């Protein structure tokens, strides 16, 4: 007991001291349209025009807790000079609003727009490169990553996500931005909201009508035995983005990036890849090197 306490303390100390900088809450960020808090990791050797990675936590999480769980981003920020934003949900349960029309729609308000405002803050105050903005998230943060890809394709170049649902799948009629507890869609979470690729694609496009620019490339991880956001959501996400990105299923690569995982390659594999994680529940562990390779910044 005594010995293991010492070991744990030593491990925590060496992890913290291995970073060049620390996580800070951005007091100057005026949090609108919702009250989400902005945390940021800025490495000592930040590039003059650093790429921006937005790392979005799961329900019951916070910006600081997700920072601790995914220290690999900060470690790589030290090596490569990018910055990492960790938004912190304003809701009581720590979930993100991915249910209201406001949050689902371009410039419609909601948590999605607050997160985009954090990106703009980082571009203005830290010199962040608007052409190198990326996002990642787990569970509720994975859902938000899909929502941001749909509503703000002009802001983000790429996304990775761990255990989410399609953009728009969690929509709940009557849900409003800023609810104390964002609305939950159990039909979607249960994997029972099934649409055609065209229907999903039309839904995504409806969130930013008239937009014809580029859209973020997506790397999607999902566990086959997920009982929080059922596995069927993985297939629906792939249908959705295959339609939006205009790529169709090409081939599988088995046992990669690790044994038991299957990579599903769409098109030439540069716009959409699914990773089916065999016998994994909710959610697959974050794979920082795969994320950064997908973003092209490490």
Ligand X SMILES: *[C@@H]1O[C@H](CO)[C@@H](O)[C@H](O)[C@H]1NC(C)=O
Binding residue count for ligand X, defined by CB under 6 A: 4
- Judged by beta carbon, residue 55 or residue 277, the one nearer ligand X is 277
262 binds ligand X (CB under 6 A): yes
- Residue window 200-239: x/- pattern of binding to ligand X, with contact defined by CB under 6 A: ----------------------------------------
Q: How far is the CB of 274 from ligand X (least distance, A)?
A: 8
Q: Which residues are CB-neighbours of 47 under 8 A, at least 6 positions away? A: 81, 82
Q: How far is the CB of 158 from ligand X (least distance, A)?
A: 22
Give the SS3 label for residue 43.
Answer: coil
CA distance 150 to 284: 23
Q: How far is the CB of 167 from ligand X (least distance, A)?
A: 21
CA distance 263 to 131: 27
264 binds ligand X (CB under 6 A): yes
CB atoms within 10 A of CB 227: 12
Helix axes 140-151, 232-245, angle to 10 degrees: 20
First-to-last CA distance in the chain? 39
Give the SS3 label for residue 25.
Answer: strand
- Judged by beta carbon, residue 24 or residue 252, the one nearer ligand X is 252
Structural contact between residues 36 and 88, judged by C-beta atoms closer than 8 angstroms: yes
CA distance 221 to 273: 9
CA distance 183 to 67: 26
CA distance 119 to 252: 35
What DSSP character marks residue 73? H
Is 139 assigned a catalytic role?
Answer: yes
CA distance 56 to 96: 9
- Judged by beta carbon, residue 84 or residue 264, the one nearer ligand X is 264
Per the residue annotation, which of 139, 140, 242, 276 is the catalytic one?
A: 139
Q: How far is the CB of 232 from ligand X (least distance, A)?
A: 11
- Judged by beta carbon, residue 145 or residue 276, the one nearer ligand X is 276
Which positions from 74 through 113 interact with ligand X, judged by CB under 6 A? none
CA distance 82 to 205: 30
Tokens matching residue 60: 């019951």
276 binds ligand X (CB under 6 A): yes
Give the SS3 label for residue 198.
Answer: helix
Q: How far is the CB of 224 from ligand X (least distance, A)?
A: 8
Q: How far is the CB of 267 from ligand X (least distance, A)?
A: 15
Catalytic residues: 139
**Binding stretches for ligand X (CB under 6 A):** 252, 262, 264, 276
């Amino acid at each position: 007991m005594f010995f293991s306490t010492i070991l744990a303390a030593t491990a925590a100390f060496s992890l913290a001291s291995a970073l060049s900088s620390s996580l800070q809450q951005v007091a100057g960020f005026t949090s609108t349209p919702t009250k989400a808090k902005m945390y940021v990791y800025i490495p000592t050797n930040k590039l003059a025009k650093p790429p921006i990675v937005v790392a979005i936590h799961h329900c019951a999480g916070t910006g600081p807790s997700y920072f601790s769980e995914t220290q690999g981003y900060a470690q790589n920020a030290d090596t490569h000079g990018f910055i990492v934003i960790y938004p912190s949900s304003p809701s009581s349960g720590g979930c993100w609003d991915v249910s209201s029309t406001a949050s689902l729609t371009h410039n419609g308000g909601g948590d999605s727009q607050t997160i985009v405002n954090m990106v703009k803050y980082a571009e203005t105050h830290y010199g962040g490169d608007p052409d190198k903005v990326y996002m990642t998230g787990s569970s509720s943060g994975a859902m938000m990553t899909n929502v941001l890809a749909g509503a703000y394709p002009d802001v983000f170049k790429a996304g990775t996500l761990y255990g989410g649902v399609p953009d728009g799948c969690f929509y709940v009629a009557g849900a409003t931005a800023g609810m104390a507890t964002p609305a939950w869609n159990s039909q979607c979470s249960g994997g029972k909201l099934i649409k055609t690729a065209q229907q999903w694609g039309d839904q995504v496009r409806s969130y930013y009508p008239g937009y014809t620019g580029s859209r973020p490339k997506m790397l999607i991880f999902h566990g086959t035995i997920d009982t929080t956001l059922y596995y069927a959501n993985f297939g629906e996400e792939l249908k959705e983005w295959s339609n939006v990105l205009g790529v169709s299923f090409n081939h599988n690569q088995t046992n990669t990036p690790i044994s038991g995982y299957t990579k599903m390659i769409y098109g030439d594999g540069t716009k959409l890849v699914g990773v089916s994680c065999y016998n994994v529940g909710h959610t697959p562990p974050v794979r920082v090197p795969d994320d950064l390779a997908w973003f092209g910044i490490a």
